[in-house]
């Protein structure tokens, strides 16, 4: 899917791109998708990038670093990350048996802009096939997000939450951030790539911002570049 992904990112020409399930293999013999960070850097104009490893995937082609990535045209001044689900072993496989225990990460990058400091948080949330379930793991995820974003100016929080819009986790976020898309999205899954009908009514991808950020425009394009649909927003610092 890389040609379509690259075409979409070039067309949008966003200042900031947040990615989940990025791969960062350094072995030239591995597949393009397993070297996604290298491919993106080679073909796109993003001078600043940060990759945070959540886990190592044990795949036939080798051991593949897997995690979150931020691409930016704006200088990244500081980075950090925090596990939402802690690792329990050295390596994992991308199989249904492992999905509930996969380590999950929230990535943070502080950007320097002409309008001041912007704090970007890239989240890949706790996996659970029941999107409404408010498990202890999801409760902890909400607590971590609130703790990490509290007191920070100009926050952008986005990514794959793996939770439905009705999950109390969303109410946790509403305590100090505003939901850019609210409950207007029926689903954020690309149903061309999904075979379970429940995905058609699951809006798990999110974007929350500080009250100081004005939402100029927003969209969820129906494009076939992933099993999820992208969220796109134009933001202005009020």
**Global pTM?**
0.97
Contact indicator for 159, 127 with CB cutoff of 8 Å: no
Domains of the chain by residue range = 2-237
What is the per-residue pLDDT for 238?
Answer: 74
**What is the per-residue pLDDT across 55-92, written as a single tens digit (0 to 9) for each?**
999 999 999 999 999 999 999 999 999 999 999 999 99
3-state helix, strand, coil in the chain (%, to 5): 20, 35, 40
SS3 149: helix
| CATH code assigned to 2-237 | 3.60.10.10
pLDDT in tens, 14-60: 999 999 999 999 999 999 999 999 999 999 999 999 999 999 999 99
């Amino acid at each position: 899917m890389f040609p379509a992904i690259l075409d979409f990112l070039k067309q949008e020409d966003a200042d900031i791109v947040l990615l989940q399930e990025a791969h960062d293999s350094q072995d030239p013999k591995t597949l393009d998708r397993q070297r996604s960070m290298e491919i993106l850097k080679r073909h796109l104009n993003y001078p600043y990038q940060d990759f945070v490893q959540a886990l190592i995937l044990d795949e036939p082609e080798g051991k593949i670093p897997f995690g979150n990535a931020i691409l930016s045209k704006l200088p990244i001044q500081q980075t950090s990350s925090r596990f939402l689900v802690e690792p329990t072993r050295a390596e994992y496989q991308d199989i249904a048996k492992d999905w509930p225990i996969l380590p999950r990460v929230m990535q943070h990058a502080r950007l320097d802009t002409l309008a001041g400091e912007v704090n970007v948080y890239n989240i890949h949330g706790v996996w659970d096939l029941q999107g409404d379930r408010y498990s202890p793991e999801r409760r902890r995820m909400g607590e971590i997000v609130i703790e990490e974003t509290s007191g920070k100016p100009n926050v952008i929080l986005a990514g794959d939450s793996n939770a439905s819009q009705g999950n109390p986790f969303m109410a946790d976020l509403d305590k100090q951030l505003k939901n850019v898309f609210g409950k207007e999205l029926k689903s954020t899954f690309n149903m061309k790539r999904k075979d379970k009908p429940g995905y058609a009514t699951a809006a798990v991808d999110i974007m929350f911002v500080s009250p100081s950020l004005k939402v100029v425009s927003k969209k969820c394009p129906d494009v076939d570049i992933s099993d999820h649909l992208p969220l796109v927003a134009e933001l202005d610092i009020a």
